[in-house]
Amino acid sequence: MLRVYFDHSATTPVDRRVVEAMLPYLTEKFGNPSSVHFYGQESRAAVDRARREVASLVGARPNEIVFLSGGTEANNLAIRGVCEQHAEHGRHVITTSIEHSSVRGICDALGRRDWEVTRLPVYEEGVVRVEDVRAALRPDTVLVTVMLANNEVGTVQPVAEIGALIRERRAAGQKIWLHTDAVQAAGGLRVDVDELACDLLSLSAHKLYAPKGVGALYVRRGVRLAPQNVGGHQERERRGGTEAVPLVVAFGEAARLTRLELDARAEHVRRLRERFEAGVEARVSDFVYNGDRARRLPGVSNISFRYVEGEGLLINLDMQGVAVSTGSACSSGSLEPSPVIRALGRDDELARGSIRFSLGKDTTEGEVDYVLEVLPRAVETLRRLSPLYQKARTERACTPA
Amino acid sequence: MLRVYFDHSATTPVDRRVVEAMLPYLTEKFGNPSSVHFYGQESRAAVDRARREVASLVGARPNEIVFLSGGTEANNLAIRGVCEQHAEHGRHVITTSIEHSSVRGICDALGRRDWEVTRLPVYEEGVVRVEDVRAALRPDTVLVTVMLANNEVGTVQPVAEIGALIRERRAAGQKIWLHTDAVQAAGGLRVDVDELACDLLSLSAHKLYAPKGVGALYVRRGVRLAPQNVGGHQERERRGGTEAVPLVVAFGEAARLTRLELDARAEHVRRLRERFEAGVEARVSDFVYNGDRARRLPGVSNISFRYVEGEGLLINLDMQGVAVSTGSACSSGSLEPSPVIRALGRDDELARGSIRFSLGKDTTEGEVDYVLEVLPRAVETLRRLSPLYQKARTERACTPA
Amino acid sequence: MAYSDTLKDHLANPRNAGTLADADAEAEQSNPVCGDRLRLSLRLGSGRIEAARFLAYGCPPTLACGSALAGMLEGMTLEEAARVTRERVTEAVGGLPARKRHAASLAIETLRAALESLTRGAF
Amino acid sequence: MAYSDTLKDHLANPRNAGTLADADAEAEQSNPVCGDRLRLSLRLGSGRIEAARFLAYGCPPTLACGSALAGMLEGMTLEEAARVTRERVTEAVGGLPARKRHAASLAIETLRAALESLTRGAF
Ligand SMILES: Cc1ncc(COP(=O)(O)O)c(C=O)c1O
Ligand SMILES: Cc1ncc(COP(=O)(O)O)c(C=O)c1O
């Protein structure tokens, strides 16, 4: 069976060049970077090189990069780290209603611990408004956390404008910091911490064609954080634990390749997505796009198919070799319709019928065409079963044209 | 140059069979285990298999195993997790003075946050006494954390006896739990959570011939923990973040091999260590062994060479291809003499002159002999420089025999 | 997660999908928690269920249970149909993940409702 | 961490190790924080340092700085010796990690003490 992976937002295959780069660190180069001897120094040097590459991907300095186990941990360290460190300055956090489940979970946990959390709306476009951020700012706001690009619909948030706003506040003496979750954005758009004027920025390697289990937090020089995983001098006391050397090396190489190839990758997936969406429009009726189509990551297309539920469609597609997702990969499996699609103002039915198609750098035209062959049939199969569809058809038949 | 790695307590080379097992998960099998489709389920199944293997290594049930980024994070989740969850029952923790820097760091952090920490002595043998634990227990003690085997001198602690004590207390109604850091022990002795009667047990894959960056916490069924890395449904809500699938698979395979080969490995390193220690005794004067030699991990030999400082010796050995360590790998680089060796009651000079030789499953007789050739010369070189040695020689010369 | 192959096959190749223009009994039930919905139409002949059709909206187990139920009902007497259990439906789809057991319950509820509509009706 | 190759070479092949039986000047200094210790013996001849020997205990930079210092002193006039700086010693060992700069300071302090013992002494 032909297999087409259209779920690059959930995770990406590891680039062959990345595997090559890490392999020596899975075999002969196995030292603990904390060791003083040859083996240790060899690993230490490799971690330092990787740190420079990751820093360079986002326009940061190497010592502003903290390696850790992934995007979720980066978000934990950023949000909990700032809040715990600066609790004396205030206990108010501003975020959006479409953050990744990790940020949502962390903010919910803060909410249960004497913190006040303001969750801003994103409207039908799936984009937060800078005016709303401005209006929500309070003298006791210590952290604003707004993702750079959403993981379900791909919408890009106005982080640079929010950054400018926060800078103003800070210039006026407020103790306030800006975090952005750039886990999805980093593979799709140029990210520069100075342009964004952010203080903290989360990255995860497995969205950039590197393995799962490693990520990084950018921490602007001078920003103080309460470390979360403590005990050990690693990462300049900001994150304890023996460095995951092979993964860190892989992340470094993936960051280097992303920096060099980002524009070409973005152009490639944008072109294929156009082909895909044009094909869907020609072949399937009764669907809506989710999220502002102009302000989106180039490889993501999120569509709600009326009258059908997403998971059934997903499994139908999967049985024909097409891998997609419904809701966020992490929260799928729960009964609830996607909270992100709900936040766009969609009703439950549309929210349950949403499917994310996410293309990757190695996606081909042939794969797009295969999905365009399989998808309309799968939608049709499920609609034929759907009492909602039957009812709508009957109603339509009775309505004079 | 011949290279001899005698630093297996710092980290181990990855077993070729472990690399083979994980490679498919770095290449074609790249799904996110949270994904519903084929790729996701393939990864999910692999994680489940690995979980069974790790559980089986320590006599636990699969759903008592939480995968995370390493031993340090396992210790954080265990100690902070229990303390935060059960703060209402008391704020007293008992530990020892020779815990790994991660446990030490975590306990220090608790100490700064309204917790009282009792650090028990270990005497010259480097072994904590069960009576001391009993005497330190208070009605408000919620956690006892005692490592199973020490990382610097290899001494094995009486965890099973402490476990029995804690069980008694719990039977009497006290809310109290036992954590043991088995990161070093797991590769050197049979570990069984029921025999130990522990509630939580930390493991790290890179001490078992698997890559750095993955570990596990055993959490006995029914023990509740405040999760530390939150946000995400992974690991049954106990640890958020996309699973490091290739590393988890590697850990599973390493656990399986350890279970099958542990006795042979232990026998092998014990035999080579005997050869090594006999050779040192024959060739070098003025040294002491650190830690009870009978109650030690089989592959570890910790020796303080009088009149010389450890790092200089380490570098001298390194320049001749022999990798060893002084103090714990993680805390080397600080000016302080090893706190573990100090805890044995050694003076500063002996504590600064301690070297850990740690042998591994692939260490050969030839390697031992090479170290025995290089080591006496390196000690001699440094002693010739040492004002302490010159003084001692003069004094000795003046003392009638 | 992990659905059985049987369950997935019901999803890709649903059996007895649709409604019966000349149904003797019909019922539609929904799960108020998740919004899942199942509709069942039955036609009788010579004391047996001659034809059974279903429509379903919702998560895969709901669709599969509808398909499996409709399939097994054809040829049953009403007494046999009344004795169909949740377990039997679950088995017919190759098992269900714990969190999805309610799909089989919805199938049984809908069946009961359809059979009740019969006893109240012309029969 | 990362020590220079020059530093490591001083450690493996120390230059001018030992003491001088017929020293004109001697001094031993120690770093009270870490316990590092350096001993320097000098013998003079025709207004120059004819021989210099060191003994050292402590971290590698202390040993290497002792070795490098003793080596560079031989052949110097006392005025030249008095002008040797911390920077010059640091350079002679191929640089030092920031946390280890104190090793070069200990070398200079010991040198100063030795030279002082001279001015107080027979010279
Ligand atoms: C926007 C966003 N943030 C955070 C994460 C979490 O990263 P990780 O999977 O490395 O834990 C993800 C990926 O799942 C994501 O899409
Ligand atoms: C006893 C002990 N505990 C914990 C750790 C930390 O584990 P990791 O290196 O995986 O963070 C180590 C290893 O350095 C150790 O030896």
* D37 contacts B388? CB cut-off 8 A: yes
Range of weakest confidence among A35-39, B65-69, B392-396: B392-396
Residue in chain A lying closest to D1 (CA): A36
Size of interface B-C (CB pairs under 8 A): 6
Q: Which residues of A are less than 8 Å from C11 in CB distance? A: 312, 315-316, 319
Range of weakest confidence among A186-200, A339-353, B273-287, D67-81: A339-353
pLDDT of B400 over the 60 cut: yes
Residues D53-67: tens digit of each pLDDT: 999 999 899 999 999
Range of weakest confidence among B59-63, B231-235, B386-390, D67-71: B231-235
Has the ipTM of the complex gone over 0.90? yes
Helix, strand, coil abundance in chain A, percent, nearest 5: 45, 15, 40
Regions in chain C scoring below 70 on pLDDT? 1, 120-123
Chains C and D touch (3+ CB pairs under 8 A): no
Question: DSSP label at A296?
Answer: B
**Tokens of residue B152, six digits:** 């610097």
Residue B76 contacts A where some CB pair is shorter than 8 Å: yes
Residues C24-53: tens digit of each pLDDT: 999 999 988 778 999 999 999 988 999 999
* Number of residues in chain A: 401
Average pLDDT of the segment spanning A137-159 = 98
Residue with token string 């979360």: A228
The number of the ligand nearest the C-alpha atom of A69 reads 1
Residues B35-64: tens digit of each pLDDT: 999 999 999 999 999 999 999 999 999 999
Residue B305 contacts D where some CB pair is shorter than 8 Å: no
Known active-site residue B198: no
pLDDT of A288 over the 60 cut: yes
CATH of C5-118, one of 3.40.1480.10, 3.90.1010.10, 2.40.37.20, 2.40.30.30: 3.90.1010.10
CA distance A72 to B118: 33
Extents of the domains making up chain D = 5-118
List, as one string, the DSSP characters of A26-38: GTT----TT--SH
Catalytic entry in A83, A107, A198, A330: A330
Residues B90-129: tens digit of each pLDDT: 999 999 999 999 999 999 999 999 999 999 999 999 999 9
CA distance C65 to C86: 10
The number of the ligand nearest the C-alpha atom of B96 reads 2
Chains D and B touch (3+ CB pairs under 8 A): yes
CA distance C80 to C87: 15
Element (H, E) at A378: helix A365-385
The pLDDT, as a whole number, for residue A233 is 84
Residue with token string 């993981």: A151
CA distance A335 to A152: 17
For residue D120, the distance in angstroms to the closest alpha carbon of chain B comes to: 24
Q: Which amino acid is at D54?
A: F
Query: Which of C63, B11, B269 lies closest to A37, judged by CA?
Result: B11
Task: State in Å, rounded, how far the first CA of chain B is from the last one.
Answer: 43
* pTM exceeds cut of 0.90: yes
**Tokens of residue B54, six digits:** 């790790």
For residue A152, the distance in angstroms to the closest alpha carbon of chain C comes to: 20
User: D118: pLDDT confidence band, cut at 50, 70 and 90?
Assistant: confident
CA distance A100 to A147: 8
CB atoms within 10 A of CB B336: 13
CA distance A184 to A203: 8
Please, what are the domains in chain B?
Answer: 4-10+262-398 (3.90.1150.10), 16-258 (3.40.640.10)
Question: Based on the number of CB atoms within 10 Å of its own CB, is B263 exposed (0-12), middle (13-18) or buried (19 or more)?
Answer: exposed
Range of weakest confidence among A44-48, A171-175, D45-49: D45-49
Query: Which of A29, A22, A9, A27 lies closest to A256, judged by CA?
Result: A22
Whether the CB of B187 sits within 6 Å of ligand 2: no
CA distance C55 to C19: 7
**Tokens of residue D22, six digits:** 């017929």
